[in-house]
Amino acid sequence: MYGWSGKILHIDLAKKSFEVEHPDIDTYSFYLGGKGFGGRYLRQCATLPWDHEEMVISIFTGPLTGTISPTSGRAHIISKSPLTGLIADSSVGGKLATRLKRAGWDGIVITGKSKTPLGIVIKNSKIYFKDAKKMWGFDTNILQKQIKPGNASLASIGPAAENDVRFASITVDQHHAAGRTGLGLCLAQKKIKYILVDGTGRCKVENPDKLKQAREDIVRLTAASPVLMGQFGFASLGTGAVYDLMDNRRMMPTDNFLDTNFKHASKLNAAAYAETYATKRHGCLGCHLLCKKIGTKNKERFTMPEFETMSHFTALIGCMDTALVVKANERCNYYGMDTISAASVLACRREITGIDYTRETLLSLLDDIALGRGEGRELAMGAKLYAEKMGKPQAAMSVKGLELPAYDPRGAYGMALGYALSTRGGCHLRAYPISHEIFRKPVATDRFSFSGKARIIKIAEDLNAVVDSLTACKFTFFAATLEEYANAFEAVTGIETTAQDLLKKGEHIYYNERIINAINGFDAEDDDLPDRFFTLAGSSGNKINISPINRGDFLEAREKYYIIRGLDSGGLPRKDKAQSLGLLRETCGLWNNL
């Protein structure tokens, strides 16, 4: 077997034991890795509550991980979300995937619950359970200094997860976060404080020369991309390079999405951060893009905010202090708390109460959320439940309970459709329509039209499901295509493959997620946007008119998507479609729950 190690580690925390699964090549070829394999194991327990002892949390590599295939060093973590009740998943960078693969494991599937806090240590084929009672309560920065992982990869949770914050995240290798959907709380419920992984093996590649050529093709294409490698691209400024662009396009979520233009934006962009904090390039192990930015000041090194954090901790909550944004980002990272959801629930609170934030009140509220104090306990539920509790449900800017990121959908109708249909809630990464609506890659589309968007969204969801299963980085696909990655996959595994073959695999991976969500009661009623976007205009200007989205056009596009995706008119999976995709061959009894 090439590409895969042929081994999946199953850990039972209740018994402090583990077993090894050896899937056959057909199973590997069907699920690929990453998101695909994670969805396989989640579906087997999909009807259980997120905090049930037998609920799984999985960490998977992909067939390209551990090879010279570009941007292949990402891991995919999957469970059931305590924030939304949907799939909880995140593609996360750092060294985790590569170290896990080199330890000889394609993935880890964890069930059960420990009675006391513990750490899981994986050193090649050896598995150890370590007492972590004294580390419970440590923030992720202190834990990093305590453990001193060296070349090993450390994934850990902070106080936010330990104090039941619904949007708690997992910190990987100090600078990377498995954010959104509450995966940190999933680990905390099982009493896992950290997972430490080190491996010294190598991944077998069937055709090294062909893989070298595939790598050269991908690197050449990314080198020619101004979005990625230009003076103002991701490699130079990180994802914060998008900040000015979103504001200029009148898509900057301002004052909790009441407006779409922030008049102070020009002084708060990525270039301003780079100048003030002398940022350095950093990234996932083996990545040539290095889009993560590390700041330096007074001999200290710290993780710089990503675009979503820059936007939400300024425009969304009415803040003009970049130093406060950096401090809020640092505090969230140390606590292990998703910055998008944290800023969103604060924006929701600001709209409901009418009270602006000072530096002191903002940081104090972040402390209260993470440490489970006072009002922080209510904010820790997330914007949707907080707004409902306050009697103002319309103030929660979320889809299916997941707070919206920093792209206003009134300025990009593909994004509007992508938000509504995403299987994990308000997520821009499932389909990432910004690529063609704003960056105009691979081809430009009219951002103020739903024409053709249903099919584009469906294809993009399938593509990104493959990307998260191989695994690779979505940013690479601003320049490279699935053709180049099909060549890389074939070179690594020896399995003859085309781009269309991979896209078909992405279709069944994504359809499986629609099945999981349907089993849990989600349907067309949930595939929707907050009313605000259909009734309130954005901030027009610069000859750009930001009108409310026409609800009739939106619903028509959604219906077209259901047809193209193979769903019924209620947004539910069809059994014949599932069967055609091979999704009834395992756990088919679950279909009775639909």
pTM for this entry: 0.95
Q: What is the pLDDT of residues 293-323, one digit of tens each?
A: 888 877 778 888 999 999 999 999 999 999 9
pLDDT at position 271: 85
Please compute the mean of the pLDDT values over residues 400-405 and round it to a whole number.
97
98 occurs within a structural domain: yes
pLDDT at position 297: 76
pLDDT at position 592: 59
Please compute the mean of the pLDDT values over residues 81-90 and round it to a whole number.
97
539 occurs within a structural domain: no
Q: What is the pLDDT of residues 99-130, one digit of tens each?
A: 999 999 999 999 999 999 999 999 999 999 99
pLDDT at position 588: 44
Please name the residue that has the structure tokens 């601003």. Answer: 478
The C-alpha atoms of residue 197 and residue 110 are separated, in whole angstroms, by 15
The C-alpha atoms of residue 405 and residue 427 are separated, in whole angstroms, by 7
The encoded tokens of residue 122 equal 């994986």
Question: Of 263-272, 350-359, 565-574, which gets the smallest average pLDDT?
Answer: 263-272
pLDDT at position 586: 54
What are the CB-based long-range contacts (under 8 Å, 24+) for 446-451?
447/249, 447/411, 447/412, 447/413, 447/414, 448/411, 448/413, 449/413, 450/413, 450/417, 450/553, 450/554, 450/556, 450/557
Please compute the mean of the pLDDT values over residues 192-213 and round it to a whole number.
96
Q: Residue 451's CB: how many other CB atoms inside 10 A? A: 12
Angle formed at CA 580 by CA 574 and CA 582, multiple of 5 degrees: 105
The C-alpha atoms of residue 33 and residue 541 are separated, in whole angstroms, by 46
- Phi/psi of residue 301, each to 5°? -115, 135
Sequence-distant (6+) residues with CB within 8 A of 373 are 367
The encoded tokens of residue 320 equal 């003009």
- The CA–CA distances, whole Å, from 286 to 64, 72, 281, 550 equal 12, 8, 13, 45
154 occurs within a structural domain: yes
Phi-psi region of 355 (alpha: psi -120 to 50; beta: other; left: phi over 0): beta
Please compute the mean of the pLDDT values over residues 543-567 and round it to a whole number.
97
Separation of first and last alpha carbons in the chain: 37
The C-alpha atoms of residue 385 and residue 462 are separated, in whole angstroms, by 31
Strands of 192-198's sheet, edge to edge? 126-131, 118-123, 192-198, 153-156, 170-172, 176-178
13 occurs within a structural domain: yes
63 occurs within a structural domain: yes
- The CA–CA distances, whole Å, from 478 to 67, 179, 222, 510 equal 21, 23, 8, 21
- Phi/psi of residue 573, each to 5°? -65, 145
Is the pLDDT at 72 greater than 80, yes or no? Answer: yes
Cβ atoms of 93 and 284 within 8 Å: the answer is: yes
Residue 465: pLDDT band (50, 70, 90) is very high
* CATH number of the CATH domain containing 53: 3.60.9.10
Please compute the mean of the pLDDT values over residues 16-29 and round it to a whole number.
97
Question: Of 5-9, 245-249, 254-258, 362-366, which gets the smallest average pLDDT?
Answer: 245-249
- Type of residue at 486: A
Residue 90 structural domain: 8-198
Is the pLDDT at 178 greater than 90, yes or no? Answer: yes
The C-alpha atoms of residue 8 and residue 58 are separated, in whole angstroms, by 10
Please compute the mean of the pLDDT values over residues 138-153 and round it to a whole number.
96
Asked if the bond preceding 70 is cis, omega within 30° of 0, the reply is no
Q: What percent of the chain has pLDDT over 70?
A: 98
DSSP string, 498-558: -HHHHHHHHHHHHHHHHHHHHHTT--GGGS---THHHH-----BTTB--PPP-HHHHHHHH
Please name the residue that has the structure tokens 């907080």. Answer: 386
185 occurs within a structural domain: yes
The C-alpha atoms of residue 50 and residue 478 are separated, in whole angstroms, by 35
556 occurs within a structural domain: no
577 occurs within a structural domain: no
The helix or strand, by DSSP H or E, that contains position 340, with its residue range, turns out to be helix 339-353
Q: Can you say how many angstroms the Cα of residue 244 is from the centroid of all Cα atoms in its chain?
A: 23
Look over the chain and give the mean of its residue pLDDT values, rounded to a whole number: 94
Please compute the mean of the pLDDT values over residues 141-167 and round it to a whole number.
97
Please compute the mean of the pLDDT values over residues 409-438 and round it to a whole number.
95
Is the pLDDT at 593 greater than 70, yes or no? Answer: no
- The CA–CA distances, whole Å, from 403 to 49, 182, 378, 410, 546 equal 21, 12, 16, 16, 21
pLDDT at position 275: 83
Question: Of 233-237, 390-394, 427-431, which gets the smallest average pLDDT?
Answer: 233-237
- The CA–CA distances, whole Å, from 590 to 109, 168, 561, 573, 593 equal 20, 29, 24, 13, 6
Sign of CA dihedral 370, 374, 378, 383: negative
Residue 585: pLDDT band (50, 70, 90) is low
* Count: domains in the chain: 1
Question: Of 27-41, 147-161, 275-289, 331-345, which gets the smallest average pLDDT?
Answer: 275-289
The C-alpha atoms of residue 370 and residue 363 are separated, in whole angstroms, by 11
Which segment, 225-229, 278-282, 504-508, is predicted with the most confidence on average? Answer: 504-508
Q: What is the pLDDT of residues 28-57, one digit of tens each?
A: 999 999 999 999 999 999 999 999 999 999
The encoded tokens of residue 116 equal 């006391």
